[in-house]
Amino acid sequence: MTEMTVSEARARLADVVDEARIHEPVFLTRRGRRIAAVVDADKLDQLVEAAEDLADIRAAAAARAELEESGAAPIPWEQVKADLGLADATTGTGATS
C-alpha cells in the first residue's frame, strides 16, 4: 500500500499513475489523513460492478423477505409479461405491434 501527500503526488504524477496501474492503489494524504486514492481504471470498473451486483443481491433478498413476511403469493412471470403487453398470455409469444 502506497501513501503520499497531495503535494508529493502533484510533483510525481506520472509515477503515481504508473504505480496505480501496475501495482496497487496510491492513497493521497493531507495533514496525515487519507483524502483520495488513485486506482487503475479497470480495477475501479470491477469494484463498481461488484458493488452494484452486491446491492442487487441485497435488494432481491429484501424483496423475497418482504414477500414472505406479507404472505402474498408471487406473481407468475407469464402474468407479468401479459400485464405489460410483452407476451400473449395464451401462447407465451411476444406481442406484435
Q: What is the DSSP string of 32-70?
A: TEEEEEE--HHHHHHHHHHHHHHHHHHHHHHHHHHHHHH
Which residues have CB under 8 Å from 61's CB, separation 6+?
Answer: none
What domain count does the chain have? 2
Q: Tell me how far apart the alpha carbons of residues 59 and 77 are, in angstroms, rounded to a whole number.
A: 19
Q: Is residue 86 part of a domain?
A: no
The tens digit of pLDDT for each residue in 15-74 reads: 999 999 999 999 999 999 999 999 999 999 999 999 999 999 999 999 999 999 998 888
Q: Tell me how far apart the alpha carbons of residues 53 and 55 are, in angstroms, rounded to a whole number.
A: 5
DSSP state for residue 86 in the 8-state scheme? S
CATH code at 33? 3.40.1620.10
pTM for this prediction: 0.64
**Full residue range of the structural domain in which residue 51 is found:** 41-71
Q: Is residue 77 part of a domain?
A: no
